[in-house]
Amino acid sequence: MKVREITRKAITSLALISALSTGAIAQGVREGIATNTASIAPPAPAAVTTKAAGYINPVEGLGVAEAVRYALTHNKGLLADRKLVEEAAGRLKQAGLRANPMLDVSRTSDLSDSSQGEFSVGVSVPLELGGRRARRIEVAERELERRRFEVADRERRLAAEVRAKYGEAVEAARNLELNERLFEINQQSYGLIKARVAEGASAPLEQSLLRVEVGRIEAQRTAFESRVAVLVEELKNLLGLSLEEKLQLRDEFVERPVTLTREQLLETAFKSRPDLQAARTAEAVAAAVLAQAKTEGKVDLSIFAEFGRQSIGFDQLGTNRVSGKQERVFMKDNMLKAGVTITLPWRNRNQGNIEAAVAAEDEARLRREFVETVVRREVAAAYARYEGATRVLKTYDTDLLSASQNNLRVVRSSYDLGHVRLTEVLAEQRRLVDVQIGYTGALKEYYAARAELESASGAPLEEK
């Protein structure tokens, strides 16, 4: 009887600790909803050190906003994408340069008489008529603008990936902590049941059932531990951290209601989404390429100037006025030639490139219309997800958590009176922890839904 009394008191105290912990969670949620600033996360126990504590640090851990900023600065893939902007800027600089002049140097000699020949130096300059240079600059400017929007969209998607992975890692760490607490409680309970069985105060079946339960919880704890480790490594990869660097998170599951309507969010997305702006710019690029192709099919001119010196020798001899000697007679002439070279668009009027540019313009228009459809769908889906996550979170706060706590209190009281078995107390306690895990999932879903809505709108969401 002494062992039975000790067991009942121990389990009663353990269940009470669990119920009080859950009550603190619910109270924290209600305070968070009232103030819109309080964290929904349950307070971590100060005296218990768990493996989950290695991933969650409420003081020195990395917040989600800090994680996003760090990723935008250190992610190697994003840094590589930003080089595309520099590449496009270089092409714009090249497009603005004028065509180089061409220098032509030649010498003509008579094979039978090397003393006779001609030497000339000529320069030609392309004029690039018809706005060729202006069209080339316009194409390069639109390309640079498109690259910038594409990089901005890559930043938007990277920020969304970081937020999503952050939420998954926090959820896994929370579940690991809950599972570790449940494992500790059941492990202690197993020792007490084992003592009761040894005294003959309890059936061996209870010990066997609890041993199976402890093994199940231990396997689940190992799975949670593995999952949180994988998620943290994946998050480190997004942030640009090395394998050796340690990463701790702050657990910022915070209730922040969205004040904008779906129509306002859609309007914001059409103004701010960089992928849509990139699609519109790609349409402008295609139009500029078409204009350039048409310009290339027009007449062009090049001007040239040439200076020549000709030397012709004769068989007659003459007296050199300086030396007085008889020398062969030569005639030397200096010549200057200038003119223009006209490119006539007769057979080749750039028809093929014009047809290709027309097709590219149609493609860009259709792709822009497709992106607009995608934006509408993503905003609508994200808003529906956010509304659903909000309803689920309120259900947990108002109904499920309180009902589960009441059930545990009733079963615990019945156990104190000797009306139920220990296994029923443990089963009800496990259901309470399952509800807590589901509640953590609801918090994560709310967090992820809001993050997705922010990504879909392409701009930070307003807060009350």
Q: What pLDDT, on the 0 to 100 scale, is given for residue 45? A: 35
Confidence of residue 420 (pLDDT cuts 50, 70, 90): confident
With H, G, I as helix, E, B as strand and everything else as coil, classify residue 138: helix
179, 315 Cβ separation under 8 angstroms: no
In this predicted structure, which of 14-23, 189-198, 220-229, 233-242 has the lowest mean pLDDT? 14-23
Task: Write out the H or E segment, with its range, that includes residue 15.
Answer: helix 2-35
Helix, strand counts (H, E) of the chain: 10, 4
pLDDT at 206 over 60: yes
The DSSP string of 182-213 is HHHHHHHHHHHHHHHHHHTSS-HHHHHHHHHH
446, 393 Cβ separation under 8 angstroms: yes
Q: What pLDDT, on the 0 to 100 scale, is given for residue 401? A: 75
In this predicted structure, which of 61-75, 102-116, 372-386, 441-455 has the lowest mean pLDDT? 102-116
Q: What pLDDT, on the 0 to 100 scale, is given for residue 406? A: 87
- pTM, rounded to two decimals: 0.77
Q: Between 407 and 10, where is the model more confident?
A: 407
Distance CA 166, CA 173 (A): 11
Distance CA 224, CA 180 (A): 10
Q: What pLDDT, on the 0 to 100 scale, is given for residue 187? A: 79
**CA angle (391, 396, 402) in 5-degree steps:** 145
Task: Write out the H or E segment, with its range, that includes residue 304.
Answer: strand 300-319
380, 374 Cβ separation under 8 angstroms: no
Strands 300-319, 326-343: pairing kind: antiparallel
Distance CA 325, CA 319 (A): 5
pLDDT at 446 over 50: yes
Q: What pLDDT, on the 0 to 100 scale, is given for residue 35? A: 31
**Average pLDDT of 434-450?**
90
432, 407 Cβ separation under 8 angstroms: yes
336 φ/ψ angles, rounded to the nearest 5 degrees: -125, 130
Distance CA 96, CA 114 (A): 47
Spell out the domains of the chain, with CATH numbers in brackets: 2-99+133-282+370-457 (1.20.1600.10)
Most confident range, picked from 184-188, 305-309, 379-383: 379-383
Q: What pLDDT, on the 0 to 100 scale, is given for residue 119? A: 85
